[in-house]
Structure 1
Amino acid sequence: MARYRSIEEILGEEDDLGLLNVTLRPRAARRPEGERDAELVREVNRFFERTGRVPDPEAADYEEMRLAILWAGLARCGPAGHLAEEDVNGLLSGVSLTLTAEPAAPERDWRDEPDADEVPTSLDDIFDDDELDVSDAFTAIKHVTPAEDRLVPDHRAEFYPCHDFERFRDMFAQTQAALEAGEREVRSINHNEEVRVDEGSLFIRKGLLTYVAEKAEMTARAGKRDHRLRIIFSNGMESDPLLSSFRKALADDATARAIHRHGIGAMDPAWEADRIDLTGTVYVVRSKSREPAIAEVSGILLKIGVTTQEVRRRIADARNDPTFLLAPVELVATYDLVNLSWRKVEQLLHRFFDAARPRDLWITDRFGRKVYPREWFYVLPEHVSRAVQAIRESNLHELEYDPESQAIRKKR
């Protein structure tokens, strides 16, 4: 038998038996779904080689998300040994292990009764749930005044003895006699009614005759007009509420009544016969506010007011009163009026110094709303003194205030 030294010598001889005639069998054709799976495996492997990771089903990119969902679906079909030759990076085995480690829990239907520990017992249980991701914008309340702050008024109107009650004693006696004789009309006040309150108005509140002696210091709050009142009661006491507060007190009092004269209303010449022309006091104050916009002009920014009350009493609660810029004030000067209507004097002074009124003066009240006090002026104390003296001498109409030169001069 011939000995061969190499494989080439063997293959070099003639193959009489046809042993080297080997015909390769073609690869068995895959079914269409099998070919789709194979293409998917190839695509995922290309993605892995490109990025170093498998596709993420939570990806923002649509193509990556689609590929990840298809990949997870292939893994749920179980072991895929027939695709091993396509899985050049061995990714199929890792996916199969993670998905077959623990069977997925069956999804619950919304009709199923919840477990006892899943039912919240309070709002705190709901908002403390770690799985509930609620933005603070839905739970944090902003721009709302707490209830305890809303119950505290800017100015608390207290009752105190009326220092000039003798001026009103006869009027109260005459009103009481007219009511008993049927010469005055009394009508109840509806709860939702906005009562008209003017100087000289008479009411019955808490069983007492109530007289509106002064209606002054108009201001605007949230676009609504308001006034400071001086209220005199038939028992010798008085108070100084805001007009809005007084209206609310009347509406809330089931026994409150409005007193009118017989006649045709405001057109009747005697309709305002109850109005008493009180002699008052002109007062000038300077603000002690620490607000930069106010403090830097405090030397020339003065409030000119007229009141029939005691001045010390009127300014005592300035820190809580928007008409005083919500700050303490310093009393600069006072001027007593004799036989002069305080209302007319106030109107004359404010009209005379109107050119010196700051147009952009405003403050923010405790509700965050803008308040525009109207009784503050850029003037000096001697200017106010000169104007009051001119009123007493009845020649104010001959003078004018020049804001540029800050001087009072004769009209040209």
Structure 2
Amino acid sequence: MQALMRLSATSRTVREWSLSALYAVLILPRHVRDFRRWFAHMQATQPPFPFMGSVRALFMAVDDITRLTASSAGWEAEMLRLLHYCGPTLTHLSLWQTESRALLRDASQAVGSRFATQTLPAWAVGEGDMFYDGPDVPGDSETEGDADLPQWLRSELEKAPLHDVARAHPAHFSLHARTAPSQRRRLRPRACTPTHLSLVISYPFYENERPELFAGLVLWTCVKELDVYITQETRRTLHLLALLAHRPVRRLRISTAHATLAVEVCGPDASTGDCGSGQERTCCALLRKLLGTVDTERALLHSFSGRGMPDASILRAACLRTLADLPPAGSAAGAHAQGHAQEASATLSGEIAALQTQLRLRLNIVQGGQAVWGKLKHRLWDFRERAQFGRDGAWPQLLGD
């Protein structure tokens, strides 16, 4: 790391390579004290927050004692600022319980919120320079500590631009002032819109719990792979996720401590919302269709609460038949219940394969032992596999490959 930091000072090109190697995949400290110390260090560098424009994947799982009291420890504002700085380049984002709740309750995420007319979000107060509307980092036309400059240097500044004077008299100016304006350009911070998102949903997130605001959160704009672990109020969370039918989600994973529902939409038009045959093609639209049937919704809720069927393939086939607008198949379930397990299993397997081919999707339900997807160790492993190594992580296991 020290070698990369030194290399970053040699030239602009090498600096970009070094910062990319350092910050492309960013795994933040686990403890609040360490995170705040790291954030303060990044803020104190010149220019501040050197990771801006380099972070592609971010994992944050703060071991925060305030999770027990649902109150703020004050670090949430720094986390939201960090996500805003990483927004232009962030594609993979994985947050744990407290961080997910802080992001979902952020008023600046909601389009149409009564707080949306504010010039800056509440957590950005005091960070005006970092939310400057121009393309360059602010402060290019002003010197730092102007009151301490000698009169002869002020006369020079009146005759020539800051950059030229700083290059001629480097001892009186910081490295930031001596850098050419074209080299100081950085992407303007904005709200993060990751394509791969992993959250742990827990309540409350206040006004953003309103269905119209939840569906319009900026966070969902570009999400293609959505992984959600539910800790409470399963039915309410499922119906909120179903509101994201207009988002281009092609992979959806919903887990509780007892079961996981994994859906993947296949085909080149998976993100357009239309497959050419009149069927809804986004995963959240498929979830909305499943929840629209009372029996299927009840069966899913029972499975998520640990009271599901002994054989998850029965529920899996029922979900596929619901998506294909076919009537319930009571005969297969009845044969299975009466002890013809081998015959029923073969029938269900063939039916599931045929329906998945017809619908051009993959759907699987895994029961038992799913609490691991809410644990830090497994979430970090899944994040590294997908963001750092370019693999599929837990998806092959959960989709039944």
TM range (shorter): under 0.3
Which has the greater radius of gyration? 1
TM-score, normalised to structure 1, is: 0.24
Greater helix share, 1 or 2? 2
Higher-RCO chain (CA-CA 8 Å, sequence separation at least 6):
2
